[in-house]
Structure 1
């Protein structure tokens, strides 16, 4: 499965081929897996003729072997499938410590921008749920893979997180990737902690906004992040200024109890899936009594021993991600369940 950030990088790199006539590239997509593997079905990597890559699938032996096969596909100009498992003597997964099996489709990319990339860019700009359906032919000699990108209606959309399905058909494989709307992070309070939180969220590919009741404080915030804004907005007009819905995570760090409560209430009123605030356990009890919402997390963040502003931001981003994917945030070594 690809993330929003990976989709954007792939689309940008695909467009870059048209700007460099003669440059060759291949797109590698995981179409089937069994057992423990380094990435899920749907994950994709673009390989250039010089061996450089966009969206690495994994480190070590598997990736090196896949890149080498991709260079062969560029030379032949034909779609190829490659399986990596012990039975076939391709034990690169075992060497990497995974032990599972996977199959990848490797397709040569023409130096033109397909309509699919235009469709993808348009949908990514809407911040709404969508679905990508890819048909991989049974034989490399058949037609090349085809892709469609379709927006999904917001009303009645039942997915709680991203999902992927891979179906083997007589005519090949159909890959269905369903993407929920991307996380929209609203940070209330123009402060150093807000900047650190926004910077970490931006690295995840999330977009968002820092709001404050003071234009002066906002002017002191250096927020040079793609897809982020800093705007003046009071709690009572927050919904008219920013996106507030089921894909919104709102973190209030105004260092003012009444303001924190007001911002959190605004987020709760519009169904934000995550509501967080800083503070002690005593402060948390006061906020919880004023904002009785299941999405409330105070003190915000996972218990990882955070001390600095950046560490606190990391703990909060991790908790938002765990909440989004309905995980409890405990150590993987204690879960006893598959990672993906």
Structure 2
């Protein structure tokens, strides 16, 4: 490992904070940051402390509360308090958990990860364990997509995180709008496929985003060619009403958590009359004034995210209560 780094993980929050327990930020020894904890977290101070951890090689816990560091939170305009764990990555041995995490993410199903942090000042490395069994964690003590933290004997800190299966986005209808929707989705780490009944239209597509595929598939056989399940978001834009309806019905039969179709209000009325599903959103997308293919893609992805997390897509400025 040529360059040292430190991982900063939020292990406790109280009150109004921008990020939740489990959120993490990687700090390079150059001061560069990946996955910033902005919006109220004292990052300038965390970078300095992360460098100290790289030098010492010891894990460290840092709290920003009434007893210490509160002035930094006030300076950033944060009304809550938080505590972070900072662990050094000074050798390849410190990164041995990454292949296991990558495997769990690529498996395409929900999983859990537990991290046992040693007491503050210890040179021991955190121990991470993965539960990659195909289990339903939504009914357990930790809701899907959340994290909890607990202090155990001898000062150990245990962080348990539940990860949802990644979104699988299926787009029916090869077009520039479909390609741009795939591009936006890929930036969130979503995998997916563009399907069409025409090889000519598929052949005219520009290069797809990394990890994305395209294939010929008709509505009646799509379940044989593309994995469809409760982690699937299905968007149709074939410009053919009968085909859109047939594709949406296939997605509904497979239990897709989101079904969307582009089109006018009149077209939406016709689709709703033929596709009976609580997951149906037509016209697809949030009302953000989108007009270009890129803007439409942004609006649709935002609506899919809201559906995935059980949110309404309402402006955060008018919401009373926690942001997460």
Which TM class, normalised by the smaller chain length? over 0.9
When normalised by structure 1's length, the TM-score is 0.89
Contact 2:110 2:137 (8 Å CA) reproduced? no
Deviation of residue 87 (structure 1)? Answer: 3.6
How many residue pairs match? The answer is 320
Cα distance in 1, alignment partners of residues 318 and 67 from structure 2:
31
List runs of 5+ in structure 2 lacking aligned partners: none
> Take 1:34 and 1:285, find their aligned partners in 2: how far apart are those partners?
46
Contact between 1:86 and 1:94, CA under 8 Å: does it hold in 2? no
Match of 1:312 in 2: 296
Q: 1:271 — aligned with what?
A: 255
Provide the secondary structure at the position in 2 that maps to 1:235: coil
Shift of 1:158: 3.8
- Per the alignment, do residues 339 and 195 of structure 1 end up closer, same or farther by CA in structure 2, a change over 3 Å counting? same
| Secondary structure of the corresponding residue to residue 92 of structure 2 | coil
C-alpha contact (below 8 Å) 2:150/2:157 kept by paired residues: yes
1:65 to 19, 42, 45: 45
The equivalent residue for 2:151 is: 168
Asked if structure 2 preserves the Cα contact closer than 8 Å seen for 1:185 and 1:248, the reply is: yes
**1:84 — aligned with what?**
64
CA RMSD, aligned part only? 1.8
Return the match for 1:34 from 14, 27, 47: 14
Q: Please give the TM-score of this superposition, normalised by the length of structure 2.
A: 0.93
> Aligned partners of 2:307, 2:139: CA distance in 1, in Å?
16
Q: What's the offset of the Cα at 1:90? A: 3.7
CA-to-partner distance for each residue in 1:121-177, whole Å, 9 max, x for gaps? 211221111111011123323733211122132568647741111112233221110
1:88-167 maps to which residues of 2 (within 5 A)?
Answer: 88-113=68-93, 114-141=95-122, 143-154=124-135, 158=139, 161-167=144-150
Classify 1:324/1:161 alpha carbon distance in 2 versus 1 (closer, same or farther; 3 Å).
Answer: farther
Match of 2:168 in 1: 184
Contact residue 137 and residue 144 of structure 1 kept, 8 A: yes
Maintained 8 Å contact 2:40/2:78: no
Cα deviation for residue 91 of structure 1 reads: 2.0
Query: What secondary structure, in the 3-state scheme, does the structure 1 residue paired with 2:189 have?
Result: coil
Please give the per-residue CA displacement for 1:245-274, whole angstroms capped at 9, x wherever unaligned. 000000000010000001001100110000
- CA offset digits 1:38-92 (Å, max 9, x no partner): 2111111121221122222226871111011000111111111111134424422
Q: Alignment partner for residue 193 of structure 1, among 163, 177, 182? A: 177
The range that moved more, 101-110 or 313-322, is 101-110
